[in-house]
Amino acid sequence: MAGLSIEDVHGHGDDPVYALEVATERVRVARAAIDASNPHVLLTGRAECFLYGHPDPLREAITRLQAFADAGADVLYAPGVRSRSDIAELVDALRPHPVNVLMGSDTGLRVSDLEELGVRRISLGSALTRVAWGAFLRTAREVADTGSFMGLGDAASFDELNQLFARDR
């Protein structure tokens, strides 16, 4: 195992987010287990405030992620933060700890923008899968609706895929 992520949600009820004390203890217990078994495993603490409709997700994410850093998280992650100003404030509030940002859609930001803001890790989550499914659906609709196979022109070649997945590359 190279890394694991501890989320602060339980996913049910009106408030799917664990109380801060419980969420922080989960990170602390994970850190202790990692340290006892393989101290090279990266622990990411996640604050899901932006995804679960918290009224002030930025403030709450900062509070939670600071507590997770104190409990031993190596990387701090608030999936759903999107704006340049929120990302900058998050990174500044959590320095010197590395911050991960999820880029699940086109926000207008580029890798260089995130780097300039101090982001240390970028996740794409399900975005590449959704892009692939979008291409699949567009092409399938085009074939069904117009009889055209033009959408197949963007397909990766077998040679490219074979090189990508070759064992000895």
Task: Identify the band that residue 11 occupies on the pLDDT scale cut at 50, 70 and 90.
Answer: confident
> How far from chain centre, in Å, is Cα 158?
30
Q: How far apart are CA 22 and CA 2, in angstroms?
A: 25
Helix (H) or strand (E) holding 32: helix 20-37
DSSP 14: S
Structure tokens that stand for 96 in this block = 């010197």
pLDDT in tens, 110-162: 999 999 999 999 999 999 999 999 999 999 999 999 999 999 998 999 999 99
Residue 12 has pLDDT above 80, yes or no: no
Residue 168 has pLDDT above 80, yes or no: no
pLDDT in tens, 37-55: 988 999 999 999 999 889 9
**Residue 151 · residue 135 · CB < 8 Å:** yes
pLDDT in tens, 69-96: 999 999 999 999 999 999 999 999 999 9
Q: How far apart are CA 123 and CA 56, in angstroms?
A: 23
